[in-house]
Chain A
């Protein structure tokens, strides 16, 4: 998985609670992404970053915030979790001239 780690691996939240998911890379890639995976919907882009200090919205950004204070880390935050955010979250890095994406192991989040 190209040196991409995600913490935590699993988490259960109650509605309204907050949490932060961490994605870390052990290389020097500029591009990093957060996707969510839901059954029958493939993966959908939440937010992405093209370098340290930059972030941008993807297709489904509502309810999430991100930060990229250090190049190696890309954080995804849920300020007030909702059951609709129950999903598996994958982080990815973009590598090479054509930005091939390599994924982390995922975080399974359940919001009750």
Chain B
């Protein structure tokens, strides 16, 4: 049973436009959410996070939105750049020293 779901395996966006990556979760105990970015042949790198006490967190071109009632979060990248092309993983954790649970990832392609 997947607790963190990224239902879109891939997404293509034109350079300069907004990229929106979506993530749904089922475990109501999750209280901390992260996005990781992964280039081929490299390990995932941390991008941005949000705790359940907030509904938005912004860092430069990256904004994460959290809708707790819908158990949904999204990552917005604007403007999208070709260097943003990568696989993006959504992750979540619950209180109490539990490990991060990851989704299957969404491959973003930003076309120049």
Co-complex (A, B): no
Interface residues of A (CB under 8 A from B): none
